[in-house]
Amino acid sequence: MNEVTEVVGQETAKVMSDGNLSITQLIVDASPLVQGVMLFLLLLSVISWTVIIQRGRYLSYCSRMAKQFENEFWGNIDLNQLYQNCKSKKSLSAMEKIFTAGFTEFARMHKQGVKNKDTLMDGTYRAMKVSCSREIESLENHLPTLATIGSISPYIGLFGTVWGIMSAFIALSAVKNATLAMVAPPIAEALIATAMGLFAAIPAVLFYNRYATKVEKLENQYLNFIDEFSTILNRNTAASNAGNQQ
């Protein structure tokens, strides 16, 4: 044990004296467990940035398509024509799916001879709400991954730091006349784990909060559209029933 600790002290002192102390060298010289922690944190960081980029593009696409559809919806276009345009597309945006689900249910119930306005509107509203819930679930996909990475990464890094410092002091405990040159490199190796934990956690937390706000904004936009479309269908149904009674 004494021979091992002396070797550790000599090597660390040599590194300091040669002036070759670098982050890369510290990682290479770290203990296997600390290296494993660093590798795991690097993996979490890669996963985090993959989710950040993918979710950022998807949420931007959804916001753009929602605005585009609202412009079409309020552009004095006939609802039947808008419905046919949506049906002819191979893929629909979230708001187009909500509109199509509501219009399809409304037409189906109307075709079945449902005359009660409340029943007709209730069925249409429920169909749009179900479609909206599915789209919100799609928007929130992978966001819990960012939340998890942001929560656990600092603690994983701290574990690597604590273990590295503990191992360094145990190794140096049997060394006589321990100097700063002998203590600094092992501690620096351990602190890199904390730094990597923060490097993985900070972007994950930052973008999770940002994307959660975007999802909430889109959800409100979808729900507002459902209310507005339901109001239009309700008004048209009431006008149609009044015309039939005359």
pLDDT, position 179: 64
Q: Which residue, 131, 75, 76, 134, is CA-closest to 103?
A: 131
Q: Which residue, 56, 69, 125, is CA-closest to 96?
A: 69
Mean of pLDDT values over 58-81: 89
In tens, the pLDDT along 125-142 reads: 999 999 999 999 999 999
Q: How confident is the model at residue 228 (pLDDT cuts 50, 70, 90)?
A: very high
Q: Report the alpha-carbon distance of residue 198 to residue 204 in Å, rounded.
A: 10
pTM of the model: 0.79
| Rounded-to-5 percentages of helix, strand, coil across the chain | 85, 0, 15
**Mean pLDDT in the chain?**
83
In tens, the pLDDT along 91-120 reads: 899 999 999 999 999 889 888 877 778 888
Q: Report the alpha-carbon distance of residue 55 to residue 141 in Å, rounded.
A: 8
Note every long-range contact of 65-68, with CB atoms under 8 Å and residues 24 or more positions apart, other chains counting: 65/93, 65/94, 65/95, 65/96, 66/93, 66/94, 66/95, 66/218, 66/221, 66/222, 68/93
Classify residue 16 as exposed, middle or buried by CB count within 10 Å of its CB (0-12, 13-18, 19+): middle
In tens, the pLDDT along 10-62 reads: 444 444 444 455 767 766 766 777 788 889 999 999 999 999 999 999 999 99
With contact defined as beta carbons under 8 Å apart, do 47 and 202 qualify? no
